[in-house]
Amino acid sequence: MDWIQKLKKYNEKKEEGRGRLSESEIRTEETEQFSKIYNECKGPVKTTHQSYNSIPRFYYKLPAEDEVLLQKLREESRAVFLQRRSRELLDNDELQNLWFLLDKHHTPPLVGEDQMINYEDFLKVAEEAGPKCKPFFTATVFSKLLQIDPYGRISIMQFFNYVMRKVWLHQTRIGLSLYDVAGQGYLKESDLENYILELIPTLPQLDGLEKSFYSFYVCTAVRKFFFFLDPMRTGKIKIQDILACSFLDDLLELRDEDLPKDAQDSNWFSAPSALRVYGQYLNLDKDHNGMLSKEELSRYGTGTLTDVFLERVFQECLTYDGEMDYKTYLDFVLALENRKEPQALQYVFKLLDVQSRGYLNVFALNFFFRAIQEQMKVHGQEPVSFADVKDEIFDMVKPMDPLKITLQDLINSGQGETVTSILIDLNGFWTYENREVLVAEANSEEPQEQEV
């Protein structure tokens, strides 16, 4: 008799004697009987296969904060491991030797000034280059770099640049991993701050920075990484995400002593850029208390952001006694200066979603555009009809739902910067309304080609 049949039989007996027992007694008896019947019927315990005993340990619990020796041991073992990985990388002498071998075994004829190499000569270089170079000399790498060449060759320069880039990525990953205190493949804000602070002396373009400004520079640099790579505000970013984005390239570009001025101006991490952002913050801080009130922030940019939008900024963003600190201000600046990027649109969308519904409806659009209409009246302009603006916005975005605009709709449309400008900034709306005139004026200012 299986255990299900036994339970059925027990239930039949239980129904006969239900009137004699209380509910609590019945529940206790049911539990006891079930355990008894189940243990009788489940049979002998199956023996564990012998191979299970040889499974290697794959989980190691991180040491607690009070386990100082274990923490120290873990840090030292990670440092030794990273040092070993660093020694496995090609150094400058080995890279020079690799270039010499590639040049020696190049496969004629030349294509312009670019030397080429076929697969047979490629393998000859692999034999002479040494074990450290072996991972680069594979059929997969060769096929990736293979272009339209009648002799089936690849460019020596492209291959060497590929090797250089790989070595640089591994070196940078090891360098970042040294600051990964948790050893889990990500950096917290304090970890990245330490990395950038110790990087400053190696960047010639930052030689002119005063040491008193270092903390503000580090804060300015770190915020860009976290604003774009940690949009969910978890307080940590993966090292592989840092390597995959272009921000580290921009930062390390400051090693170039002859970096052009226009490149410095467009680089968020340059000294002129950091001083510009911090200088703007100081200029807005009229009472010199180190924080910005809503009234002080209203003078940001052209001073045409609407009061309704600024009110939402102070409702949703982290403030201290109703005032904004420099770190929160940096998020604000990064959002408004990069409104073509999804992370910036996410920041602004949260402010526009005044009902916290996850989408913008006609009410939300009207809520913000009324402030634009009020500003137009103040400046003596004839207010534009909201109905016309609403229709234009929906035509630009083309949302999946004709009555709702989601963040994804805004991103997919490629019109996020224009839509947000229309709703939060009088100057942005004026630029949109007069776009045809502005384009015509710009074209008329271009130098005309002389007729021959």
Model confidence over 214-248: pLDDT tens digits? Answer: 999 999 999 999 999 998 899 999 999 999 999 99
pLDDT category at 343 given cuts 50, 70, 90 is very high
Task: Please determine whether the domains at 185-273 and 292-441 fall in the same fold group of CATH.
Answer: yes
HEC assignment per residue over the chain:
CCHHHHHHHHHHHHHHCHHHCCHHHHHHHHHHHHHHHHHHHCCCCCCCCHHHHHCCCCCCCCCCCCCHHHHHHHHHHHHHHHHHHHHCCCCHHHHHHHHHHHHHCCCCCCECCECEECHHHHHHHHHHHCHHHHHHCCHHHHHHHCCCCCCCCEEHHHHHHHHHHHHHHHHHHHHHHCCCCCCCCEEEHHHHHHHHHHHHHHCHHHCCCCHHHHHHHHHHHHHHHHHHHCCCCCCEEEHHHHHHCCHHHHHHHHHCCCCCHHHHHHCCCCHHHHHHHHHHHHHHCCCCCCCECHHHHCCCCCCCECHHHHHHHHHHCCCECCEECHHHHHHHHHHHHCCCCHHHHHHHHHHHCCCCCCCECHHHHHHHHHHHHHHHHHCCCCCCCHHHHHHHHHHHHCCCECCEECHHHHHHHCCHHHHHHHHHEHHHHHHHHCHHHHHHHHHHHCCCCCCC
> What was the pLDDT predicted at 47?
57
What is the rounded average pLDDT for all residues in the chain?
Answer: 89
| CA–CA distance, 324 with 314 (Å, rounded to integer) | 8
| CA–CA distance, 137 with 154 (Å, rounded to integer) | 12
| CA–CA distance, 250 with 177 (Å, rounded to integer) | 19
> What was the pLDDT predicted at 64?
85
Cβ neighbours of residue 76 closer than 8 Å, sequence gap 6 or more: none
- Nearest CA among 393, 434, 438, 401 for reference residue 417: 393
Contact assessment for residue 172 and residue 226, using Cβ atoms and an 8 Å cutoff = no
Q: Which two tokens stand for residue 175?
A: 């360098």
Q: Would the pTM count as exceeding 0.85?
A: no
Strands 186-188 and 154-155: unpaired
* Res 340 pLDDT > 60: yes
- Nearest CA among 83, 241, 90, 100 for reference residue 167: 90
pLDDT category at 450 given cuts 50, 70, 90 is very low
Q: Which two tokens stand for residue 414?
A: 């490629």
Sign, Cα dihedral of 31, 34, 39, 42: negative
Q: Any idea what the Cα angle at residue 232 is, between residues 231 and 237, rounded to 5°?
A: 70
Domain 292-441: CATH architecture, name and number where available: Orthogonal Bundle (1.10)
| CA–CA distance, 299 with 277 (Å, rounded to integer) | 14
Length of the chain in residues, anyone? Answer: 452
Mean pLDDT of 334-357: 96
> What was the pLDDT predicted at 59?
79
Identity at 401, one-letter amino acid code = D
- The answer to which of 29-38, 154-163, 209-218 has the lowest mean pLDDT is 29-38
CATH for the 185-273 domain, from 1.10.238.220, 3.40.50.2000, 1.10.287.3510, 3.40.605.10:
1.10.238.220
Higher pLDDT, 135 or 17: 135
Q: Which two tokens stand for residue 133?
A: 């170079």
pLDDT category at 307 given cuts 50, 70, 90 is very high
Mean pLDDT of 405-414: 96
Model confidence over 144-160: pLDDT tens digits? Answer: 999 888 889 999 999 99
| CA–CA distance, 232 with 223 (Å, rounded to integer) | 14
Q: Where are the domains of the chain?
A: 3-41, 70-174, 185-273, 292-441
